[in-house]
Structure 1
Amino acid sequence: MYIVGNKRGFLLAELGQLNLKGELHIKHLERVKSVTDAKEANMFSKHLSLLWLSWERTAESQLQENVEQILEVLQPHIHHLQELRVEGYTGVHFPQWMSSPSLKNLHCVYIKDCQSCLHLPQLGKLPYLKELFISNVSRIIYLDEESYDGGAEGGFTELEHLSLEKLPNLIRISREDRENLFPHLSALVVIECPNLLGLPCLPSLNYICIQGKCNQDLLSSIHKHGGLESLCFYDNKELTCFPDGMLRNLISLKLLMIWSCSEIEVLDEALQHVTSLESLILSDLQNLKLLPASLGNLGFLHKLIISNCPKLTCLPMSIQSLTGLESLGIYSCSELEKRCEKETGEDWPKIAHVQNIEIRNTRLIF
């Protein structure tokens, strides 16, 4: 780590004399006074595998001039770079080098707290990008704005993991709905993106996690992804129910987790469609009152966890038909705990066939 300061021994230009390799984090870039100082750091001569460039949001950063040119001249040697992080950058535009197809070893990009930026770099042009994390870049509307010149091959051809966090104005992942975009994307995390509309068809997607407020159109588009194996919802205080048909085509789904969605009262009959489900986790659902009879249709279910669902007072009779259920955990659900007491509880006959049962008056922490 190199912390930029205003005195000799801490000036960015002094990096120019050093033969650096491996990983480098440069902090407090808001203290750089001129493009010349940044250029003298001679970053293009550094054979770095990881470069992390960060600005702190201070009065100094708001007054910094030529910040776009400063980032432009901080380009490292392109042939060795594997991971790039940019945090707190106050420019409106990113330099072209960040999306150069010549960055053939770059597999991970992390962009955070760049709140003045109107557009992201053209990251779809990076030929071997596998992981992309975008957080708190509040003005962007699209992740990908490229047309790819009408060619058959779209962008992000090798991307496997995409995380989108705190993007209040993001409305679509791609400006164009091209079927060949994101062909290898397997994991998608969406956190606090309330205006993100439906997903395009992502043929390799097997994991989705949606956290915080989200658009109903986003939920309705989940059904397109028949190869999905894990689906998680977390911390949505406004979600009262799931759209009709959201789970209808998810024939490969093995894990469904719904956590801290306090307004959900019932899980409707949609569960009947996810017949391949193996694990169901329900936690911190303060208003959940009922589990559907369709729970009994989940013939492959072997793990059921219910934690901190205080209004859930009984289990459906159909749970008796889950002969493959191996593990049942009930935590901090006072009424349900009483009904499921061994031998004496009213619901005990429904679950007596389950091999491993744990009932505790403590919340389960994941």
Structure 2
Amino acid sequence: NSARELKLEAPVGEMFVEYLSVNDCGCVEDISPEFLPTARKLIITDCQNVTRILIPTATETLTIENCENVEKLSVACGGAAQMTSLIISECKKLKCLPERMQELLPSLKELRLSDCPEIEGELPFNLQKLYISYCKKLVNGRKEWHLQRLTELWIHHDGSDEDIEHWELPSSIQSLTICNLITLSSQHLKSLTSLQYLCFDGNLSQIQSQGQLSSFSHLTSLQTLQIRNLQSLAALALPSSLSHLTILNFPNLQSLSESALPSSLSHLIIDDCPNLQSLSESALPSSLSHLDISNCPNLQSLSESALPSSLSSLTIYDCPNLQSLPVKGMPSSLSELAISKCPLLKPLLEFGKGEYWPNIAHIPSIYIDWERM
């Protein structure tokens, strides 16, 4: 760590350690098996003079962070057959991944790339988990990906992508997180018959307004959906398999309609919907067990019949204009109630004194402003 001068006695290659971290060593220019002991887990960070890295044979996980002058990454002769995870972050000059990755890194299952804008080219087809953040050229050249074993994909982009004809996501994907991939459409999701988790973020209002993203109903295995910044929920067809739904930053959402949510839903989170004013009667499905509402400054009321009889947990946070709760309509199944930063409700919920207290005292777990009652 922060070594100005470093010299290891030969034969370094015969040394073996479980974990080795090289941090802020300005004297190091090349990383190679001749320079470092063999390490099962190798981390190289903030080594600004390093220009080349040769992956040692016995390394299983390699992390390279903030080495801005690294231009070449290669694999030692004979390959690194045991390597399962490769993480590269903030290597601005790195233009490509190691050559012959499929052959030399046959066990590689996880690849994480972040802030490497010049990286481009093919990816090894045996990957199971791929995380890409702000790697512009790699994402824009995604037609070259052939990842038929991929189960988890995470892409955080800058919105510079252009439409690629005949590009589809592999059908093996079970978890998909997409941010600011503006050419994404329902057509790209049609093959995802195994998809269980889906998270959308970014410029989705534009996508929805262009009619590119209109339906998830064909995703028959989808269980969890987290979606941000859409114009409308009612116009979005949700699959009947959905059990967990998170709605984030829907600026036009004023109320929930009865038909908007699938009957299979058990967990619902509503967060940062500034124009949401009320939850109407029968808006929530009878299957719902957990409801979490937060950061909705204009929410004023929940109707007396808003909460389904199946509800076991209710959390409300930072809704400063919420004036009332449907205490007479509180389901008998409710076992957890947590209300914080709702100043108009707090006096009504005061222990032993508040107007609502007789109606909620039977609930086993009650938290008001993080204090257990």
TM range, smaller chain: 0.7 to 0.9
Judged with a 3 Å threshold, the aligned counterparts in structure 2 of structure 1 residues 307 and 79 are, in CA distance, closer, same or farther, namely same
The 3-state SS of whatever aligns with 1:325 is coil
Unaligned runs of 5+ residues in structure 1 are: 148-154, 341-346
The residue that corresponds to 1:220 in the other structure is 214
The residue that corresponds to 2:324 in the other structure is 339
* 1-structure distance, mates of 2:97, 2:253: 45
- Give the C-alpha shift of residue 312 in structure 1: 1.8
Equivalent in 171, 195, 202 of residue 183 of structure 1: 171
Aligned structure 1 segments of 4 or more residues deviating by more than 6 angstroms:
73-76
The residue that corresponds to 1:313 in the other structure is 300
In structure 2, give the amino acid aligned to 1:306.
I
The residue that corresponds to 1:343 in the other structure is none
The residue that corresponds to 1:156 in the other structure is 147
Q: Does 1:52 align with 2:40?
A: no
- If asked which structure has higher relative contact order (CA below 8 Å, sep 6+), I would say 1
Q: Which structure has the highest helix share of the two?
A: 1
The residue that corresponds to 1:344 in the other structure is none
Equivalent in 243, 253, 258 of residue 254 of structure 1: 243
- Give the C-alpha shift of residue 293 in structure 1: 4.2
Comparing 206-215 and 13-22, the one that deviates more: 13-22
Deviations 1:98-144 (A, max 9, x none): 64255321110011111134x3x322x422x2111000113445463
* 1-structure distance, mates of 2:234, 2:77: 46
Matches within 5 A, 1:15-164: 15-28=33-46, 30-32=48-50, 38=52, 43=54, 45-57=56-68, 61=69, 67=71, 70-72=72-74, 77-91=79-93, 93-95=95-97, 97=99, 99-117=101-119, 119=120, 121-123=121-123, 125-127=124-126, 129-142=127-140, 144-146=142-144, 155-164=146-155
Matches within 5 A, 1:196-211: 196-198=184-186, 199-201=188-190, 202-211=192-201
- With normalisation by structure 1, the TM-score equals 0.74
Judged with a 3 Å threshold, the aligned counterparts in structure 2 of structure 1 residues 6 and 348 are, in CA distance, closer, same or farther, namely closer
- Give the C-alpha shift of residue 223 in structure 1: 3.0
The residue that corresponds to 2:290 in the other structure is 303
The 3-state SS of whatever aligns with 1:81 is coil
The 3-state SS of whatever aligns with 2:214 is helix
Unaligned runs of 5+ residues in structure 2 are: 1-20, 343-368
Deviations 1:20-71 (A, max 9, x none): 13111223454136xxxx4xx7x354310012233445xxx4xx8xx2xx22
Q: Which structure has the highest strand share of the two?
A: 2
In structure 1, give the amino acid aligned to 2:227.
F
The residue that corresponds to 1:240 in the other structure is 231
Deviations 1:200-255 (A, max 9, x none): 32111011112333222564243331211011124x3xx332362432xx111001
